[in-house]
């Protein structure tokens, strides 16, 4: 039985609208998007990113052939049948390029997302802790920061050879979370000394509620920034590892295209498009995400929104 | 000809993606050579914007929209950056509110002087050091400061250094923008005295921008009062003090009173005489039953670096806060007031001594048990701009303690939240409940903070400088609210402040804290009217008292 108040409720007390939470979240998202969009550089980045995402989703529709079909004349130049020519193994370059976007986008978002998740979990709890455990985390994070990323990646990938995409994602996450964790920890520490966090303690809030409802929402822009940073690094790492032959050479990705192009001496045979096109795509995608990050900065720093200040 | 002639000056703020606002509207005034003029207004009145415009420091999104500023006959707005730089020598200079933070932390004070001398080349190389010492002596510092880094100086010393730096270019016009606001009361008093004497001796023209009419009246010969970008009154200080014309000036002036007077009244806060009767009647729901007992409490902080001597913030303090009593804890910054508040609320633990509340031993509470203490002991924070999470609505901020401490939920909790808003006078309650903190003014925010403290139905309220961040005209409302709450609900109040006047208005008893020790305590009116300890007297003397100046100086008062 619902416990209705004994005295008749005054007409001024309707129950709180249930959807306000979701609605407000949507509003906040809309406003954040507007802020990012209002930044010129970020707008360019968002458009490029959107194009790549659409290409990745609609690759089967857009691509003229299957990326694995290898029954064409090998080493052909651009023609109306094969706009960007064919590879040494006789595959259509354009189809491979379009399908390759899938791998890069997926790795970028999944690995970027996962490493941000780890960074947030570690950064928040590390910033909130004030005992010896903090020292332990500090040591571990420093360890990951001090070991150079690429060699570590190569070694891990070499051990887990031929695991395909999941391994690449894992490797990127392992090597990529530490930087974000440190940044978020610093922010947590500065936020936790703010009055409103102490006030939450006086309101009788539990530690987890203080962390997730008071501190975390105030770091959204930093988390978004850290996500795009990690995603950029993940895209570059994926192509790098594939280019070195440490990924699965039979999945079609921009990195593996570069790997095969290198193996078949594409430059010597005049097939520069083979190297140029995937390389340009990797660079463009990474640039797009970096550009988006310019706008994300404006989210947390209103002064950057003022514009002409400098 | 006047040194400064401002004609129909308008300054507009044009932030991108927001409505432009007129910060200064059609201001016209003249300042004669050697005059000392005050510019008074509350936050947002446009006084600093005007000051920045005068010294050509206004930056986008601020823009001079109309009018002219003639400095010694030349239009300031027309100067290019090189002309501007050159005129800084013998032209106009500005001392900022945060002037103490304007020094480069990795360069010594001597370097700062050397930079200015080198940039303008008006002091020969071999004379530079002696000239710097000379300037420092003008602001009552010694040459020894030259080899120190800004971080090694106190706030007051740094502000003195920045005044000396401004003087080094022998400006004809000095603009002081809230030069003492960020400083401690007693330091404030000393720095203002230096500025006053300096101006008299050197004879430069000066503009003193301040929110504090008392400080301005005590120092300047003429006062301009600003409200919403308009100069509403411009008259000699004595005139302003004795016969204010504009209603707004009268309001500002009304908030000054001498805490030593027999009867103290402020607008919205009637005389304190009637509160001798104990808080009776009321609703009694939250009436305090337990006393807070503090015995021999000390708190020592370890030195910052290894080898530094530990700092004792609180030393052997003992007192009782009886149920329903209101007690003031006063002292300058660094006297240990806020540390004591943290100890009593269990946020920090004392190094020695005991604190108990009823049968709770506060000094031994573990973090998880704090919940129990905070059900009865709540805190009102100093800075209403920092104490509310910018992302949560007022309703959320108030619902949480209601749910956590009173066990209400759903519609029941919401009813209580609206009731709380009603108590602190934020009506219509429905509208305020849905607002985010940035949609509220400072005074409204502080009311929300107070409502949140009340949400737990506490027995004791600890208020840490609850009005120091608010404009004077808002203070009375918040103070009256605190006083009424005590009377209506019978909660005990520990009121922490450096402001003796407000202590006089809301409390029955007072404790004066100096360097962590209680130096004097007793009934508020008695301690403030007949202080026994030398430190209490000094605190009282550091209050701006325009009445004293005009009374003592007699008819030749503003000739100085």
Strands of B74-75's sheet in order across = B21-31, B4-13, B62-71, B74-75
B77 vs A301: which has the higher pLDDT: B77
Per-residue pLDDT tens digits for B81-106: 888 888 787 788 888 877 667 888 88
pLDDT for B328 equals 92
Q: What DSSP state is assigned to residue A213?
A: I
Min Cα–Cα distance to chain B from A138, Å = 21
Is A6 touching B (CB cutoff 8 A)?
Answer: no
| CA pseudo-torsion sign B44, B208, B4, B224 | positive
pLDDT for B313 equals 86
Q: Considering the domain boundaries, does residue A288 fall inside one?
A: yes
Q: Which residue of B has its CA nearest to A193?
A: B386
SS3 label, residue B39: strand
Q: Is the pLDDT of residue A11 over 60?
A: no
Q: Is the pLDDT of residue A4 over 60?
A: no
Tokens, residue A126: 């590390």
Q: Considering the domain boundaries, does residue A179 fall inside one?
A: yes
* Interface contact flag, A12 B418, Cβ < 8 Å: yes
Percentage of chain B beyond pLDDT 70 is 92
Q: Is the pLDDT of residue A10 over 70?
A: no
Q: Considering the domain boundaries, does residue A165 fall inside one?
A: yes
Beta partners for residue B377, in sequence order: B460
Alpha carbon distance B393, B443 (integer Å):
16
* Interface contact flag, B411 A5, Cβ < 8 Å: yes
Alpha carbon distance A171, B255 (integer Å):
67
Summarize the confidence of residues B249-255 as an average pLDDT. Answer: 84
Q: Is the pLDDT of residue A24 over 80?
A: no
Percentage of chain A beyond pLDDT 70 is 88
The model's confidence at residue B284, banded by pLDDT at 50, 70 and 90, is: very low
The model's confidence at residue B506, banded by pLDDT at 50, 70 and 90, is: confident
Is A8 touching B (CB cutoff 8 A)?
Answer: no
The model's confidence at residue B560, banded by pLDDT at 50, 70 and 90, is: very low
Pairing of strands B21-31, B4-13: antiparallel
Residues in chain B closer than 8 A to A305 (CB atoms) = 16-17
Per-residue pLDDT tens digits for A197-230: 989 988 888 888 888 888 888 888 888 888 988 8
* Interface contact flag, A9 B60, Cβ < 8 Å: no
Q: Is the pLDDT of residue B380 over 50?
A: yes
Alpha carbon distance B460, A257 (integer Å):
72
* Interface contact flag, A204 B404, Cβ < 8 Å: yes
Q: Which residue of A has its CA nearest to B62?
A: A309
In B126-280, alpha helices (H):
128-138, 155-167, 185-202, 213-219, 237-242, 247-254
Is A201 touching B (CB cutoff 8 A)?
Answer: yes
SS3 label, residue B135: helix
- Window from B271-275, B383-387, B424-428 with minimum mean pLDDT: B271-275
Per-residue pLDDT tens digits for A48-67: 999 999 998 988 888 887 87
Min Cα–Cα distance to chain B from A271, Å = 50
Summarize the confidence of residues A247-261 as an average pLDDT. Answer: 82
Summarize the confidence of residues B230-246 as an average pLDDT. Answer: 88
Summarize the confidence of residues A86-110 as an average pLDDT. Answer: 85
Per-residue pLDDT tens digits for A263-288: 877 777 777 788 888 889 989 998 99
* Interface contact flag, A305 B418, Cβ < 8 Å: no
| Cis status of the peptide bond prior to B428, with omega within 30 of 0 | yes
Query: Which CATH number goes with the domain that contains A288?
Result: 1.10.3720.10
Summarize the confidence of residues B253-282 as an average pLDDT. Answer: 63
Per-residue pLDDT tens digits for B35-46: 899 999 887 788
Min Cα–Cα distance to chain B from A51, Å = 28
Which residues of B sit within 8 Å Cβ distance of A? 15-17, 59-61, 345, 347, 370-371, 374-375, 378-379, 381-383, 386-392, 395, 397, 400-401, 404-405, 410-412, 414-415, 418, 429-430, 449, 452-453, 455-456
Per-residue pLDDT tens digits for A132-164: 888 888 898 988 888 887 788 888 777 876 667
Is A298 touching B (CB cutoff 8 A)?
Answer: no
Q: Total structural domains in chain A? A: 1
pLDDT for B401 equals 92
Q: Which of B301, B292, B382 is nearest to B349 (CA)?
A: B301
The model's confidence at residue B368, banded by pLDDT at 50, 70 and 90, is: confident
Percentage of chain A beyond pLDDT 90 is 9
**Domains of chain B (ranges, CATH numbers):** 32-66+76-254 (3.40.50.300), 285-301+309-547 (3.40.50.300)
Q: How far is CA B512 from the centre of its chain?
A: 19
Q: Considering CB atoms only, which of A196, A200, A308 is closest to B386?
A: A196
Q: Which of residues 157-196 of A touch B (CB under 8 A)?
A: 194-196
Q: Considering the domain boundaries, does residue A306 fall inside one?
A: no
Per-residue pLDDT tens digits for B202-211: 888 999 998 8
pLDDT for A6 equals 39
Residues in chain A closer than 8 A to B404 (CB atoms) = 203-205
Min Cα–Cα distance to chain B from A117, Å = 22
Alpha carbon distance B425, B444 (integer Å):
9
Give the number of other CB atoms < 10 A from CB of residue A130.
9
The model's confidence at residue B475, banded by pLDDT at 50, 70 and 90, is: confident
Alpha carbon distance A255, B470 (integer Å):
61
A129 vs B527: which has the higher pLDDT: B527
Q: Considering CB atoms only, which of A15, A195, A306 is closest to B15?
A: A306
Q: Considering the domain boundaries, does residue A11 fall inside one?
A: no
Q: Is the pLDDT of residue A174 over 70?
A: yes
Summarize the confidence of residues B44-71 as an average pLDDT. Answer: 83
Beta partners for residue B482, in sequence order: none
* Interface contact flag, A199 B449, Cβ < 8 Å: yes
pLDDT for B382 equals 83
Query: Taking each helix axis from N to C terminus, what angle separates B155-167 and B109-120, rounded to the nearest 10 degrees?
Result: 10
Q: Which of B444, B341, B458 is nearest to B401 (CA)?
A: B458
The model's confidence at residue A8, banded by pLDDT at 50, 70 and 90, is: very low
Q: Considering the domain boundaries, does residue A221 fall inside one?
A: yes
pLDDT for A162 equals 66
Q: Is the pLDDT of residue B383 over 80?
A: yes
Q: Considering the domain boundaries, does residue A130 fall inside one?
A: yes
pLDDT for B89 equals 79
Instruction: Name the residue range of residue A126's domain.
Output: 104-247+283-301
Q: Considering the domain boundaries, does residue A15 fall inside one?
A: no
Q: Which of B381, B63, B541 is nearest to A197 (CA)?
A: B381
Q: Which residue of B has its CA nearest to A310?
A: B60
Q: What DSSP state is assigned to residue B324?
A: T
* Interface contact flag, B389 A205, Cβ < 8 Å: no
**SS3 letters across B341-399:** HHHHCCCCCCCEEEEEECCEEHHHCCHHHHHHHHCCEEEECCCCCCCCCCCCCHHHHHH
Summarize the confidence of residues B64-74 as an average pLDDT. Answer: 84
| Cis status of the peptide bond prior to B61, with omega within 30 of 0 | yes
pLDDT for A154 equals 81
Is A217 touching B (CB cutoff 8 A)?
Answer: yes
B367 vs B361: which has the higher pLDDT: B361
What ipTM is given for this predicted complex?
A: 0.73
pLDDT for A149 equals 76
Run of H or E residues at A287: helix A272-300
Q: Considering CB atoms only, which of A9, A198, A218 is closest to B391?
A: A218
pLDDT for A18 equals 43
Contacts of residue A205, Cβ cutoff 8 Å, sequence gap at least 6: A213, A214, B400, B404
Is A18 touching B (CB cutoff 8 A)?
Answer: no
pLDDT for B523 equals 92
- Window from A266-275, B317-326, B522-531 with minimum mean pLDDT: A266-275
Percentage of chain B beyond pLDDT 90 is 11
B473 vs B26: which has the higher pLDDT: B26
């Amino acid at each position: 039985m619902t416990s209705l108040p004994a005295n008749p409720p005054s007409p001024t007390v309707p129950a709180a609208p249930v959807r306000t939470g979701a609605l407000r979240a949507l509003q906040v998202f809309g406003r954040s998007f507007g802020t990012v969009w209002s930044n010129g550089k970020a707008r360019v980045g968002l458009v490029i990113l959107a194009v790549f995402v659409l290409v990745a989703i609609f690759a089967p529709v857009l691509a003229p052939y299957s990326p694995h079909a290898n029954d064409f004349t090998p080493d052909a130049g651009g023609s109306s049948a094969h706009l960007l020519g064919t590879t040494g193994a006789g595959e259509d370059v354009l189809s491979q390029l379009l399908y390759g976007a899938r791998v890069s986008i997926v790795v970028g978002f999944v690995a970027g997302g996962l490493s941000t998740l780890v960074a947030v979990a570690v950064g928040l709890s590390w910033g909130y802790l004030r005992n010896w455990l903090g020292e332990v985390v500090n040591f571990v994070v420093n360890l990951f920061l001090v070991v150079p990323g690429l060699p570590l990646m190569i070694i891990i990938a070499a051990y887990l050879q031929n695991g395909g995409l999941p391994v690449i994602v894992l490797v990127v996450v392992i090597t990529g979370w530490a930087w974000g964790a440190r940044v978020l920890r610093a922010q947590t520490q500065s936020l936790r000394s703010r009055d409103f966090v102490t006030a939450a303690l006086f309101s009788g809030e539990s530690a987890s509620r203080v962390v997730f409802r008071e501190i975390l929402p105030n770091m959204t822009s930093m988390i978004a920034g850290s996500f795009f940073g990690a995603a950029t690094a993940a895209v570059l790492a994926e192509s790098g590892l594939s280019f070195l032959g440490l990924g699965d050479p039979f999945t079609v990705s921009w990195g593996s295209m570069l790997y095969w192009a290198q193996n078949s001496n594409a430059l010597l045979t005049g097939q520069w498009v083979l190297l140029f096109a995937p390389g340009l795509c990797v660079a463009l995608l990474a640039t797009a995400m970096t550009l988006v990050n310019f706008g994300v900065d404006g989210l947390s720093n209103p002064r950057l929104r003022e514009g002409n200040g400098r | 000809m006047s040194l400064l002639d401002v004609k129909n000056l308008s300054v507009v703020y044009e932030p991108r993606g927001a409505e432009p606002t007129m910060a200064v509207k059609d201001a016209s005034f003249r300042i004669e050579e050697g005059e000392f003029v005050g510019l008074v207004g509350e936050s947002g009145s446009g006084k600093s914007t005007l000051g920045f415009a005068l010294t050509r420091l206004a930056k986008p999104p601020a823009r001079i929209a109309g009018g002219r500023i003639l400095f010694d006959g030349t239009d300031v707005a027309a100067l290019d950056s090189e002309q501007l730089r050159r005129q800084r020598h013998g032209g106009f200079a500005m001392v900022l509110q945060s002037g103490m933070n304007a020094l480069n932390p990795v360069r010594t004070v001597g370097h700062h002087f050397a930079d200015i001398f080198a940039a303008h080349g008006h002091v020969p190389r071999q004379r530079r050091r002696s000239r710097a010492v000379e300037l420092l002596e003008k602001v009552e510092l010694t040459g020894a400061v030259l080899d120190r880094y800004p971080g090694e100086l106190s706030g007051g010393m740094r502000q003195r250094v920045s005044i000396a730096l401004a003087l080094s270019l022998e400006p004809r016009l000095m603009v002081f923008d809230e030069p003492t606001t960020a400083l401690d009361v007693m330091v404030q008093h000393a720095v203002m005295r230096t500025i006053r004497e300096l101006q008299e001796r050197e004879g430069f023209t000066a503009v003193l921008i301040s929110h504090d009419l008392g400080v301005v009246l005590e120092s300047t010969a003429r006062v301009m009062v600003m409200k919403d970008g308009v100069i509403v009154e411009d008259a000699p200080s004595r005139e302003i003090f004795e016969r204010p014309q504009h209603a707004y000036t009268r309001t500002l002036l009304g908030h000054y009173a001498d805490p030593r007077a027999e009867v103290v009244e402020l607008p919205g806060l009637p005389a304190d005489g009637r509160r001798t009767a104990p808080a009776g009647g009321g609703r009694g729901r939250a009436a305090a039953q337990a006393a807070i007992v503090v015995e021999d409490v000390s708190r020592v902080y370890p030195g910052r670096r290894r080898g530094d001597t530990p700092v004792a913030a609180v030393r052997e303090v003992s007192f009782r806060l009886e149920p329903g009593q209101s007690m003031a804890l006063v002292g300058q910054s660094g006297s240990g007031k806020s540390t004591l508040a943290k100890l009593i609320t269990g946020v920090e633990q004392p190094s020695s001594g005991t604190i108990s509340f009823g049968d709770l031993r506060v000094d031994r509470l573990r973090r998880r048990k704090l919940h129990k203490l905070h059900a009865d002991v709540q805190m009102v924070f100093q800075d209403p701009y920092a104490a509310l999470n910018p992302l949560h609505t007022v309703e959320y901020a108030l619902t949480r303690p209601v749910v956590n401490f009173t066990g209400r939920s759903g519609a029941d909790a919401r009813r209580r939240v609206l009731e709380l808003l009603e108590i602190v006078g934020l009506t219509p309650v429905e509208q305020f409940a849905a607002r985010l903190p940035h949609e509220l003014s400072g005074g409204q925010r502080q009311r929300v903070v107070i409502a949140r403290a009340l949400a737990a139905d506490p027995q004791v309220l600890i208020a840490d400088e609850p009005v120091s961040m608010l404009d004077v005209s808002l203070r009375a409302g918040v103070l009256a609210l605190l006083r009424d709450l005590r009377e209506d609900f019978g909660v005990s109040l520990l009121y922490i402040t450096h402001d003796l006047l407000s202590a006089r208005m809301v409390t029955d008893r007072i404790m004066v804290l100096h360097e962590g020790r209680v130096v004097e305590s007793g009934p508020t009116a008695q301690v403030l009217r007949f202080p026994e300890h030398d430190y209490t007297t000094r605190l009282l003397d550091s209050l701006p008292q325009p009445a004293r100046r005009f009374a003592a100086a007699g008819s030749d008062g503003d000739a100085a």
